Structure 1
Amino acid sequence: MAAASISRSAAFEDYSVYGNLSDDELLQIAIERSLSDTPNNYAIAAASTPSPQPDLPSQSSHNAPADHSSHNAPADHGSHNASAENPTAHYSSPNPPSQQPPDPKTFHGTVSRFMTGSGKSMVAYRRPDGSLVYIAPEPKEEEEPLFKAIRVGDVNTVKELTMRPGTNLMTPSKPGWLAIHQAAWYGQDTCLRVLLSAQRGMINKRSDLGETPLFVAVSNKQLRCVQVLLESAADVNIQNYDKETPLFRACEQNSATMVAVLLNHGALVNTSCTSLGCTALHEAACRNNVEICDMLLKAGAKLELTNIYGISALFNAAQSGQPATLRFLLTHGADINSRAADGATPLYEATKNRHQEVVELLLSHKADPNKPGKTGLLPLHIAAQTGNDTIVSMLVPVTSKAAVRWSGISPLHLAAERNRDEVLEDLIAAGFDVNAQLSEERSKLYEDRRSSVLYFSVSNNNVDAVRSLLAAGADPNRDMFRPLMVAARMGSMEMVELLVEHGADINAPVPTHPTTFPAVYMFSMKFLPMFKFLLDHGGHAQSCFSCVYGACTHPPIRTKHSDWDLGYSDGVPQQTGGVQFCEMISAPSICRWAGPIIDVLLDYVGHVTLCSRLLEHLDSFSDWSGIKDKAAPPRPLLQLCRVQVLQLVGRRRLKKLPLPVGLIRFLQHQERCVHDC
């Protein structure tokens, strides 16, 4: 047995030993070594043709993965002194590969096929335990003489073979085809006549896929063979195992000539084909072939037939965006407002697939734009959702506002949800209500129970859409969980400023999770500039220092999400009367900001008493001791005056007071002193 590893010089020596072997011999030995149980089989693979590449596709008759070689180990030889003229390969596996391939019919194991780097097809047989039985280049399958003669159109050989004793024309080839299928596929009409004259009984025989010779000829557009078979009384209506008829396949091939020939020989036009129940007219309609549709209708095709989903041929044409066929079917009486099983109309489907020309055509033929689909959405909703402003402009004038209200959702909601800004602008200009609310049923589909159009744009952080909606009069205070809170949670200062500027209520509560302080503070305390902005514009500060426990010991803080779970911050407990500020600021993600937060709040209040929990926070960090001193009474008179003026005058009227600019800025908390007065 060779050593576990050999040196580079030994690898080159090994290469010289096998230098006289052919490429095929080297390739086979290399792969045999790499697939054996012994590691370190590198030398031969490195010295011969390229090894199998792992990224090449593999095929296996047993669905086994490709068996690729290892390239990381040296070869394992019984001797390094073997004669170059008569090399002998020694295998470390106790069960070396066989010299003859096993019989695939009786072999129990896996058969793997793969390609080498040089493009050679290989086959490997392995036992169930993974050990190698046989590996070699895959043998090429020999084509049967009769089938080869048919393929190349050798009529004389075909005649000779069909007349030879012992020839059975009913014996299929490996794909399950008879000789007649071969002739039909390759368009050998003369060979086809020879075969039929020898044995007419095979004219309707089916392949492994249930395909008759006629079906095969139609599939490969072999018109002459189709005519020969039909003249010989081939059954024109036999379906394959996928339930397709030759006529359906001819429509699929978009061959008007083939369709005409089949119809002239009695092809049934209303047969349900495929597992979906489509007819030939369905197929012709989605191929936009007016000529075939015309032939089918003249042959008795019914416009009202639908597939298992309730889809008609007209619906198919609208769905696939085929205006010519659509116009043709409409002129022949197809129902323009036919509905599929899910309630969708052709107009609805054309809108969903953004077929502008088809939508325009349907509307010109009075298609009803106020028929909703199964979700209650109208075509206009779908156009807003997909963002096609051209289709939106076509649908807006003909869509009933009452139908929109009845749906429980405005197209503005869908445009905002998908960030379709151009469509949003068009709908606003068309007069759609920017304060439209989702119905209760639709609002319940969202965890946060959103209802306004503005909420969708804010949650998408779409500042441009928010600005457009607010400019058009959108009310920022319509939702249970306010858009301002969403903007604060995202840390969007620009959005917060926009909403506050347009009247967002800073002190609004969350009804389902009451707090004793403005709820928006929960989402802004970690963004001190935003927190101060909210206080500057009317946010209540005094309530943050109201505590029912005062100087007494507070109960332990619970942090279960079941107690407080808006999905946006760490959980804190909910007490009777609402969560207190000192409890909220004790949440793990916020408590490290406690000092600066309390410091900011003290600028907006007069005399306050810090509860024991707030004092604990301030005592936890030495640099915060000055903040505790700041809260100690008495507060500076200047601060008390500022608080009193703001309470009496109100923040909105400050700028109208006949006071110096510096004093106004002080009252607005833009300065810490009045030196500029």
Structure 2
Amino acid sequence: MRGFSYAEYFSLFHPRRSLRSPVTTSAPTANPPRSRRFDGRLIRPSKPVVEVDPAVVAIKNGDEETLSNMIRAGKVLSVPNSEGWLPLHEAIYYNKPGCAKLLLQAYPGTVDCRTLAEETPLFLATCRGNLECMKCLLEAGAECDISSKAKETALYKACEHKNVETVKLLIQYNADVNHRCNRGWTALHEAAIRNDLDIIEALLMAGAKIEATNIYGITPLFVAAQSGQLESLRFLTKHGANINTQASDNASALYEASKNEHEEIVAFLLSQNADANKGSKDGWLPLHIAAARGNMAIVQMLIPVTSKVRVRRSGISPLHLAAQHNRNDIVEELIEAGYPINALLSPERSRLFEDKRTSVLYFAVYNNNVETTEMLLKAGANPNVDLINPLLISIRHGSIKNIKLLIKYGANINAYIPTHPTSFPATIMFSMKYLSLLKLIMDFGGDGESCFKCVYGSHQHPEQEQRRDDIQMERKKPRPVQFCEIVSTPGIYRWAGPIIDVLLDYVGNVNLCSKLKEHLDSYDEWATIKTKSEPPRPLVHLCRIKVRKLLGLQRLKFIEMLPLPGRLKRYLEYNDTNDLM
């Protein structure tokens, strides 16, 4: 059998291509097609070869003779490439002043030509720090103040790169020292943030405005304070810069230094009599932001020079911010400095919080910060001034330590929420999901009897769906939600029996409404609870209730002091309910 030639074998796998038909190549596309080898591997197309301009090669190698020959031979070297670069730009970029001079002699009109990024040869030379090229361009008449897309001039970039020689050279050729970039920054702003005193001095001697502001109203001194540049700050202050300069949002240099925790800057500003009572747009003083940041050194410097009257007018105390950010040491320092423990947020600031909080104590409790909570309570904080009692927040967190602390210092054990009225204390409602917590609340005097006062009594309760008119009436004057309605909610009803059982231990003779009886009838194991609720209750239990009421809210402490037998004390404390039954 005759063997196949390679061409015939190839045609078997490519039947659409004739052996005689010529192979044509289509124009290059963005995604050229890829074919496969016989072994399945992809054949990747080769990358197009980019032709290198011989003039650029000569410039890069510093070959002045070759470049000169090209110019004499009439080769045009004034046409930009796809990025807008001329050979002159290349000579400046590669720091080839000899090549640059040849190109400038041949094409003097290209001295200020810009790339597509709007960068002139002088701008490139400055960015690269090529001093000889800069001199060459300036001598050829290059304009100093042509800016890039960001409105940055060569002088601005020289300051950014901290190149003193290039700055002085540009100033010598009358560069505009007060030109602003698209952010409004001048060369002096850039020198201040770079902390270069030689450049700052050169700019000031050339007429730079020391109080020039950017688009945010920030001066060079403000920039130095904000960025922690102490030498720049001292130099600018010495030359008359306003130490109390403020930005557009009223933030002062001292405020920004405190915000960024530049301790040396704060100390210097205060030594120059900077005003510590200039507030920002939101009314915060430097002490406020220092307390929020938790910088003890700055707080201690600001306390003696901050007006407490000015703090009060701001509507927020530094204590609020220290407590909010868990700065325990700052809270202690401010308390010792005499800041009022019971200072309240102004109504405008309180409305910024969904829970309408006002007190310093609330912030500490909200963060579950036991240390700060105890510190504030010992110093005399009132636990009952907020719309939502801090005790309710502690119950929600399940923080036993904070609960006991708040109750010890007089928190209302039977607190309600005015905006969400209930017929029984909100403290009981918040603790119902955790029986041990509920028992703790009841031990401290929770009003359990209110849970069994139902407006419907033994009558049938209405359905949950109400007519639109009824709903509208409730929106005008909300009807207090009853205990039986709360325990009927999907997340609670399975615990209704144990909850009622705990509450019955702390009340006398009560009548269960039809809704509660219905719940107790729904589980066989709850039958004993229903029996327990039926009057009359045991006399010994009624006596226990009476004794505890007579002892008041601090009953647990007084029970230990009573000259009673241990069994009776345990019974009064609910430690062993079977001792006297």
Report if TM-score (shorter chain) is over 0.5.
yes
In structure 2, relative to structure 1, the CA distance for the partners of 1:222 and 1:664 (3 Å cut) is: same
Residue 502 (structure 1) aligns with: 409
In structure 2, relative to structure 1, the CA distance for the partners of 1:500 and 1:300 (3 Å cut) is: same
Mapped to 2, the partners of 1:154 and 1:486 lie a distance apart of 80
Are residue 232 (structure 1) and residue 140 (structure 2) matched?
yes
**What pairs with 1:16-55 in structure 2 (closer than 5 Å)?**
none
Residue 522 (structure 2) aligns with: 620
Among 370, 376, 385, the alignment partner of 1:463 is: 370
* Contact 1:336/1:346 (8 A) holds in 2: yes
In structure 2, relative to structure 1, the CA distance for the partners of 1:88 and 1:399 (3 Å cut) is: farther
* Contact 1:214/1:226 (8 A) holds in 2: yes
Mapped to 2, the partners of 1:393 and 1:178 lie a distance apart of 61
Query: Where does structure 1 lack aligned partners over 5 or more consecutive residues?
Result: 1-80, 113-122, 126-133, 565-571
In structure 2, relative to structure 1, the CA distance for the partners of 1:264 and 1:464 (3 Å cut) is: same
* Contact 1:610/1:631 (8 A) holds in 2: yes
Residue 299 (structure 2) aligns with: 392
Among 66, 70, 82, the alignment partner of 1:161 is: 70
Mapped to 2, the partners of 1:93 and 1:298 lie a distance apart of 81
Q: CA deviation at 1:220?
A: 0.5
> AA paired with 1:256?
V
Among 112, 129, 150, the alignment partner of 2:59 is: 150
* Contact 1:506/1:538 (8 A) holds in 2: yes
Among 553, 559, 562, the alignment partner of 1:657 is: 562
Q: CA deviation at 1:390?
A: 2.0
In structure 2, relative to structure 1, the CA distance for the partners of 1:600 and 1:87 (3 Å cut) is: same
Among 19, 25, 46, the alignment partner of 1:137 is: 46
Mapped to 2, the partners of 1:183 and 1:383 lie a distance apart of 53
Residue 248 (structure 2) aligns with: 341
Residue 60 (structure 1) aligns with: none
Q: CA deviation at 1:651?
A: 4.3
Mapped to 2, the partners of 1:179 and 1:651 lie a distance apart of 92
Residue 391 (structure 2) aligns with: 484
* Contact 1:369/1:379 (8 A) holds in 2: yes
Q: CA deviation at 1:673?
A: 3.8
Give the stretch that moved more between structures: 138-147 or 658-667: 658-667
Mapped to 2, the partners of 1:154 and 1:175 lie a distance apart of 23
Q: Find the residue that maps to 2:426 and give its secondary structure.
A: coil
Mapped to 2, the partners of 1:573 and 1:492 lie a distance apart of 34
Q: CA deviation at 1:101?
A: 6.5
* Contact 1:550/1:611 (8 A) holds in 2: yes
Query: Where does structure 2 lack aligned partners over 5 or more consecutive residues?
Result: 18-22, 35-42
Give the stretch that moved more between structures: 524-533 or 344-353: 344-353
Q: CA deviation at 1:320?
A: 1.4
* Contact 1:513/1:574 (8 A) holds in 2: no
> AA paired with 2:103?
L
Mapped to 2, the partners of 1:92 and 1:491 lie a distance apart of 80
Residue 192 (structure 1) aligns with: 100
Residue 581 (structure 1) aligns with: 483
In structure 2, relative to structure 1, the CA distance for the partners of 1:608 and 1:93 (3 Å cut) is: farther
Mapped to 2, the partners of 1:256 and 1:275 lie a distance apart of 23
Over the matched positions of the two proteins, sequence identity in percent amounts to 49
Residue 183 (structure 1) aligns with: 91
Q: How big is the alpha-carbon RMSD for the aligned residues of Structure 1 and Structure 2?
A: 2.8
Are residue 672 (structure 1) and residue 577 (structure 2) matched?
yes
* Contact 1:457/1:465 (8 A) holds in 2: yes
Residue 14 (structure 1) aligns with: none
Q: CA deviation at 1:339?
A: 1.1
Among 207, 214, 217, the alignment partner of 1:300 is: 207
* Contact 2:394/2:402 (8 A) holds in 1: yes
Q: CA deviation at 1:675?
A: 5.4
**What pairs with 1:82-231 in structure 2 (closer than 5 Å)?**
100=25, 102=27, 111=30, 136-165=45-74, 167-231=75-139
Are residue 596 (structure 1) and residue 505 (structure 2) matched?
no
Residue 277 (structure 1) aligns with: 184
Q: Find the residue that maps to 2:92 and give its secondary structure.
A: helix
Q: CA deviation at 1:557?
A: 3.0
In structure 2, relative to structure 1, the CA distance for the partners of 1:91 and 1:206 (3 Å cut) is: farther
Structure 1 residue ranges, 4+ long, deviating more than 4 angstroms after superposition: 81-94, 98-101, 572-577
Q: CA deviation at 1:475?
A: 1.8
Give the stretch that moved more between structures: 643-652 or 359-368: 643-652
Mapped to 2, the partners of 1:164 and 1:452 lie a distance apart of 87
TM-score w.r.t. length of structure 2: 0.90
Mapped to 2, the partners of 1:469 and 1:435 lie a distance apart of 9
Mapped to 1, the partners of 2:265 and 2:16 lie a distance apart of 70
Mapped to 2, the partners of 1:453 and 1:89 lie a distance apart of 88
Q: CA deviation at 1:542?
A: 1.1
Deviations 1:549-572 (A, max 9, x none): 111111123599xx99xxxxxxx9
Mapped to 2, the partners of 1:152 and 1:174 lie a distance apart of 22
Q: Find the residue that maps to 1:508 and give its secondary structure.
A: coil
Q: Find the residue that maps to 2:554 and give its secondary structure.
A: helix
Residue 355 (structure 1) aligns with: 262
* Contact 1:557/1:583 (8 A) holds in 2: no
Q: CA deviation at 1:431?
A: 2.4
> AA paired with 1:445?
L
Mapped to 2, the partners of 1:87 and 1:443 lie a distance apart of 84
Mapped to 1, the partners of 2:62 and 2:12 lie a distance apart of 48
Among 438, 443, 459, the alignment partner of 1:531 is: 438
Mapped to 1, the partners of 2:409 and 2:73 lie a distance apart of 96
> AA paired with 2:518?
E
In structure 2, relative to structure 1, the CA distance for the partners of 1:179 and 1:356 (3 Å cut) is: same
Residue 422 (structure 1) aligns with: 329
Deviations 1:464-499 (A, max 9, x none): 222222232222211111111111122222322222
> AA paired with 1:599?
D
Q: CA deviation at 1:428?
A: 2.5
Q: Find the residue that maps to 1:383 and give its secondary structure.
A: helix
Q: CA deviation at 1:514?
A: 1.8
Residue 37 (structure 2) aligns with: none
Residue 403 (structure 1) aligns with: 310
Residue 542 (structure 1) aligns with: 449
> AA paired with 2:192?
A
Mapped to 2, the partners of 1:85 and 1:428 lie a distance apart of 98
Q: CA deviation at 1:252?
A: 0.9
Mapped to 2, the partners of 1:93 and 1:608 lie a distance apart of 98
In structure 2, relative to structure 1, the CA distance for the partners of 1:320 and 1:607 (3 Å cut) is: same
Deviations 1:255-274 (A, max 9, x none): 011101111111111111x2
Between the two proteins, the alignment pairs up a number of residues equal to 559
Q: Find the residue that maps to 1:136 and give its secondary structure.
A: coil
Mapped to 2, the partners of 1:92 and 1:244 lie a distance apart of 63
* Contact 2:540/2:580 (8 A) holds in 1: no
Mapped to 1, the partners of 2:395 and 2:475 lie a distance apart of 21
* Contact 2:571/2:580 (8 A) holds in 1: no
* Contact 1:352/1:386 (8 A) holds in 2: yes
In structure 2, relative to structure 1, the CA distance for the partners of 1:492 and 1:575 (3 Å cut) is: farther
Residue 547 (structure 2) aligns with: 645
> AA paired with 1:102?
A
> AA paired with 2:485?
E
In structure 2, relative to structure 1, the CA distance for the partners of 1:232 and 1:574 (3 Å cut) is: closer
Q: Find the residue that maps to 2:45 and give its secondary structure.
A: strand
In structure 2, relative to structure 1, the CA distance for the partners of 1:537 and 1:136 (3 Å cut) is: same
Residue 45 (structure 1) aligns with: none
Mapped to 1, the partners of 2:54 and 2:226 lie a distance apart of 49
Mapped to 2, the partners of 1:419 and 1:100 lie a distance apart of 72
Residue 170 (structure 2) aligns with: 262
* Contact 2:421/2:478 (8 A) holds in 1: no
